[in-house]
Amino acid sequence: MNFQLTEEHLAVQAAAREFAQTELLPGVIERDEHQKFPAEQIKKMGELGFLGMMVDPKYNGGGMDTISYVLAMEEISKVDASASVVMSVNNSLVCWGLEKYGTEEQKQKYLTRLATGEIIGAFCLSEPEAGSDATSQRTTAEDKGDYYLLNGTKNWITNGSTASVYLVIAQTDPEKKHRGINAFIVERGMEGFQVGLKENKLGIRGSDTHSLMFTDVKVPKENRIGEDGFGFKFAMSTLAGGRIGIAAQALGIASGAFELAVKYSKERKAFGVEIAKHQAIQFKLADMATNIEAARMLCLKAAFHKDTHQDYGMSGAMAKLFASKVAMETTVEAVQVHGGYGFVKEYHVERLMRDAKITQIYEGTSEIQKIVISRELLK
């Protein structure tokens, strides 16, 4: 066993950290306040290769491993989780799903542009009445011969109004239940496709979350991903990797809050000394650091499983379950270390606390992760 990161890993980590500190930090509070999508910053992330990190270079990707992706996600998420969710969805749901299961034509047409960030993608599974219970798809895709007729509504879609390409899951044959579900590539301009209301959220407020409506959208047959009836497996298999990305996001939110707490505790004085000299604060920092390190190990282990072609369903779910809990607990404690200053926006930790919550909800709630883990254990 070797815990040493390679020179390449360290270089990716340093580049992501530099980008986050110089490009994402300025303006992050205002973007959160005004729910402003970090459009310019996302464009630069694309140019630097952060939006298609693991894609094969022959489709314009970075050809990197999942460990590099986890390291970069952590650094970006320390500063701006609204930017890192765009990165996570584009990398691990949209690009990975297309590269793994798309046809060569689909890859040439869409993946080559998604990997550079020229366009970004969205993953559309959740519906008003199908969140955790993802097989209960109400969106229908009627087989009309050379096209499918798509009707329905999707909810809480990340990159809802900023994406150009949407991977949409829909029911074609209800009698076959989840085996009658398909996945489709839907383009922004297709007739009958409408972007609905933007959500006013607790956290990751700079990200762009919308409902989407499909009314008699004609999706060409060549836009179906995989064989007829493969859509649910496509969604589950794609989400298994997505969960590593969200686990790394949670890790970054936690370690970002921790770094701020350490810095503040060395500056702020109370009872005549820096608060870092008080054991009450030291114990908090020790707990935070230990939990974060454990979360980091789980994230890297899941990434290692994926890179070495081992099953990563359970390790990814464990990483997400644990890292998201650590994100929540660490950010609450970081606010506590900051005292009154932690409760105001300028000190960043209140935003990180709000951002942390979503990591226990999207790409499978913590309860869903426990289902995934326990089913694997009891197989």
Residues binding ligand CAA (CB under 6 A):
89, 123, 125-126, 132, 134-135, 158, 178-179, 232-233, 236-237, 239-240, 313, 362-364, 368, 371-372
Q: Which phi and psi angles does 44 have, rounded to 5°?
A: -65, -35
* Interstrand relation of 165-171 and 273-274 (parallel, antiparallel or unpaired): unpaired
Choice between 66 and 158, CB closer to ligand CAA: 158
Q: How far is the CB of 256 from ligand CAA (least distance, A)?
A: 19
Virtual CA dihedral for 90, 96, 102, 103, nearest 10 degrees? 100
Residue 126 beta carbon to ligand CAA: minimum distance, rounded to whole angstroms: 5
- Inter-CA distances, 366 with 241, 259, 320, 362, Å: 16, 25, 8, 9
Please give the Cα distance from 111 to 121 (Å, whole number): 10
**Long-range CB pairs of 102-111, under 8 A, 24+ apart, other chains included:** 102/185, 102/225, 103/222, 105/222, 106/185, 106/222, 106/223, 106/225, 107/59, 108/59, 110/165, 110/185, 111/52, 111/55, 111/59, 111/60
How many Cβ atoms sit within 10 Å of the Cβ of residue 175? 6
- Residue closer to ligand CAA, measured from CB, 53 or 334: 53
In terms of CB distance, is 214 or 347 closer to ligand CAA? Answer: 214
Q: What are phi and psi of 79, to 5 degrees?
A: -105, -45
Q: What distance in Å separates the CA atoms of residue 330 and residue 351, rounded to the nearest whole number?
A: 13
Centre a 10 Å sphere on the Cβ of residue 22 and count the other Cβ atoms it contains.
Answer: 10
Q: CB of residue 66 vs ligand CAA: minimum separation in angstroms?
A: 16
Residues 6+ apart with CB under 8 A from 320: 243, 244, 246, 247, 250, 359, 363, 364, 366, 369
Which CB sits closer to ligand CAA, 101 or 264? 101
> Residue 97 or residue 342: which is nearer to ligand CAA going by CB?
97
**Shortest spacing between CB 200 and ligand CAA, in angstroms:** 17
CB 52, min distance to ligand CAA, A: 17
* Whole-angstrom distance, CA of residue 106 vs CA of residue 164: 14
Q: Which pair of structure tokens corresponds to residue 230?
A: 């493969």
CB of 371 to ligand CAA, least distance (A): 5
Alpha carbon distance 230, 227 (integer Å):
5
Note whether 337 and 258 are within 8 A (CB): no
Cα gap 246→322, rounded to integer Å = 11
- 32-40-80-338 Cα dihedral, nearest 10 degrees: -60
Active site amino acids: 363
Q: How far is the CB of 314 from ligand CAA (least distance, A)?
A: 10
Closer of 158 and 331 to ligand CAA (Cβ)? 158
- Nearer of residues 60 and 209 to ligand CAA, judged by Cβ: 209
Closest by CA position to 128, among listed 70, 210, 208:
210
